[in-house]
Amino acid sequence: MDKKITYQKADLAFQSALNKRVQLYFDTNKLSKYGNSTLYIKIILLSCLYGAVFISMLFTTSIWALYAHYIIMGPLSIFLALNIGHDAAHNILFSHRKWNTIFTYTWDFLGANGEIWKYKHVESHHPLTNIQDIDQELEVPKFLRLFTNAKWIAIHKYQHLFMPIIYAFYILIWFSFRDYKDYYQLRKNSVKLSFTRLVVGKSLFILRMILLPYALLSFSFSSIFVGFILFTISASLATTFALISTHLGEHSYFPSPDKNGKMATSWIRHQIMTTSNFSTENKIITALYGGFNHHLTHHLYPSISHIHYPKITAIIKEECRKFDIQLIEELPVLKAMNSHFILLKKRGKLAQWIPWMEM
Q: What are the pLDDT tens digits along the chain (359 aa)?
A: 457 899 999 999 999 999 999 999 999 999 999 999 999 999 999 999 999 999 999 999 999 999 999 999 999 999 999 999 999 999 999 999 999 999 999 999 999 999 999 999 999 999 999 998 899 998 888 999 988 888 899 999 999 999 999 999 999 999 999 999 999 999 998 999 999 999 999 999 999 999 999 999 999 999 999 999 999 999 999 999 888 889 998 888 899 999 999 999 999 999 999 999 999 999 999 999 999 999 999 999 999 999 999 999 999 999 999 999 999 989 898 999 999 999 999 999 875 555 544 43
Q: Which residues pair with 44 in a beta bridge?
A: none
CB neighbourhood size of 117 (10 A): 22
Question: Considering the domain boundaries, does residue 6 fall inside one?
Answer: no
pLDDT digits 0-9 by tens, 98-147:
999 999 999 999 999 999 999 999 999 999 999 988 999 988 889 999 88
Question: Considering the domain boundaries, does residue 51 fall inside one?
Answer: yes
Question: Considering the domain boundaries, does residue 4 fall inside one?
Answer: no
What is the C-alpha to C-alpha distance for residues 225 and 209, in angstroms, rounded to an integer? 9
What is the C-alpha to C-alpha distance for residues 240 and 168, in angstroms, rounded to an integer? 8
**Domains of the chain: total:** 1
Question: Considering the domain boundaries, does residue 261 fall inside one?
Answer: yes
What is the C-alpha to C-alpha distance for residues 171 and 71, in angstroms, rounded to an integer? 13
DSSP per-residue codes, 101-168: HHHTHHHHHTTS-HHHHHIIIIIIITTTTT-TTT-GGG---TT---STTSPP-GGGGGHHHHHHHHHT
DSSP per-residue codes, 231-282: HHHHHHHHHHHHHTTTS-STT-------TTSB-SS-HHHHHHHH---B-TT-
Question: Considering the domain boundaries, does residue 93 fall inside one?
Answer: yes
Q: Which domain holds residue 76?
A: 12-358
To the nearest 10°, report the CA torsion of 141, 144, 145, 147. -50
pTM: 0.92
Question: Considering the domain boundaries, does residue 2 fall inside one?
Answer: no
Question: Considering the domain boundaries, does residue 3 fall inside one?
Answer: no
Phi/psi-derived region of residue 71, left when phi > 0, alpha when psi is between -120 and 50, beta in every other case: alpha
